[in-house]
Amino acid sequence: MKTIIAAVAALGLMAIPAAVPGPPQDQQQPTFRTSTEIVLIDAHVVARDGTPIRGLKPDQFEVFIDGRRRPVLSADFLAATDPVPAVAGTTMASDRPAARDGRIVVLAIDQASFPVSAQQSAREAATRVVNRVAREDYLGMIAFPGPVQISPTRDRSLVREGITRISGLRVGVSRTSRFNISATEAVQLKGRTSVATKEIITRECRGWPPVDQMCPAEVMEEGSTIATMLEQQSMLTIDGLHSVLDAMGSLPGRKTLIVVSAGLPMSNLPGSRLNFDAETTRVARRAAAANVNLYVFYMNVHFLRFFSPAYGRQNHSIYEDISMFGTGLEKFADAGGGSFFQVEVDADPFVDRMLRETSASYLLAVRAQPEDRDGKEHFIRVSVKERGATVRYRRVVMIPAGG
């Protein structure tokens, strides 16, 4: 049984008919009938420091499909480079590898989230990934929106060249504006939060000649303009994530996606039009269904930028801004079963953790019931009986309809 399961490890998570002859009765092992199917699930089980935990047995795992517990028949611990032996009678699709010969890692750079002044932060984070992935791993990169798209390769020179073309495309309010309105304040102005609106107008219009009756209206207008820019930025990020998942659709098996972004602004304030919960959940579900290990690097460029002499302005809600820009990314990572890291300066510790966590996984063989085999998507949940362990796994699976 182990040999057959290992042979299809490169397919990630799939359903196969359990038409294998049963073992002798005296071995007291389960016998599979053609009325059942086996669902294969890749599960990364790691300690607090991200190191894979070895030696777990099938009875230490619990797997639920749509909330109903399903038996775990076997749990094989496989390194990212473990070979997959050929098995007679097993046919793999032409785009599937015949062996697990390294991880597939894709860098997705959210150019719309970085201002030009902070584009070097995106390049630096991408470079740190290139410097630390193993030579046997395949590394690709997509910078969105834009033309930079490099298919997973072992040729690091192609990715390094692509990094030089990463740009900061975030559009901000003109620095010549006479007002100093932060992102959080802009959302409050557009949402017409009464107390905040009064405080902002009082501050920004203080000292203007009494005859300047247009100042409050101009503050409201500029706040609305900034909030609209934030809305457009969020939509560009969400659309870009969909395009990344489209491009990754043909990649085989379990793969790792690293999203590098300076923020996906979100707010539930009425009238702000920055409530993207549904859109974020939708793209996160696509990531889960695509069998993706998701890692989101939130590059906190805002703190250093707003306190740098070059910026030349005071931010009156810097910590609220940092939270607002990170909220959407954190929700995306959580809904996709991934990890969220806020990077202040050095991304190396987070890159190293990602590499540790994805260096090995368990391939779980789970028995599906006839009602599971309907050709539709099903939600799965995996837990493990091991103190201090974290489990990362695919959250959604489509089980083919039974014959």
CA 372: distance to chain centroid?
27
High-pLDDT (> 90) share of the chain, %: 53
In tens, the pLDDT along 10-37 reads 333 333 333 333 333 443 333 333 334 7
pLDDT given at position 294: 94
pLDDT given at position 212: 67
Domains of the chain: 2-100+360-398 (no CATH), 104-172+231-356 (3.40.50.410)
Question: What type of residue sits at position 357?
Answer: E
Beta pairing partners, 260: 109, 297
pLDDT given at position 173: 61
pTM of the model: 0.81
Distance of alpha carbon 53 from alpha carbon 76, whole angstroms: 12
Instruction: Give the residue-averaged pLDDT of 374-380.
Output: 86
Distance of alpha carbon 27 from alpha carbon 13, whole angstroms: 28
> Is the omega angle on the peptide bond into residue 309 within 30 degrees of 0, that is, cis?
no
pLDDT given at position 305: 64
Which of 172, 273, 279, 170 lies closest to 231, judged by CA? 273
Question: Regarding beta strands 104-110 and 255-261, do their DSSP bridges make them parallel or antiparallel, or are they unpaired?
Answer: parallel
pLDDT given at position 191: 87
Please check the confidence at residue 240 and state whether its pLDDT lies above 90.
yes
Instruction: Give the residue-averaged pLDDT of 132-148.
Output: 94
pLDDT given at position 82: 65
Q: Is the distance from CB of 336 to CB of 295 less than 8 angstroms?
A: no
The SS3 of residue 193 is coil
Query: Nearest 5 degrees, angle CA 202-CA 206-CA 208?
Result: 130
Q: Which residue has the higher pLDDT, 154 or 214?
A: 154
The position carrying tokens 């970085």 is 114
Backbone angles phi, psi at 255, to 5 degrees: -135, 160
In tens, the pLDDT along 310-363 reads 555 566 788 899 999 999 999 999 988 899 999 987 899 999 999 999 999 998
Distance of alpha carbon 221 from alpha carbon 190, whole angstroms: 9
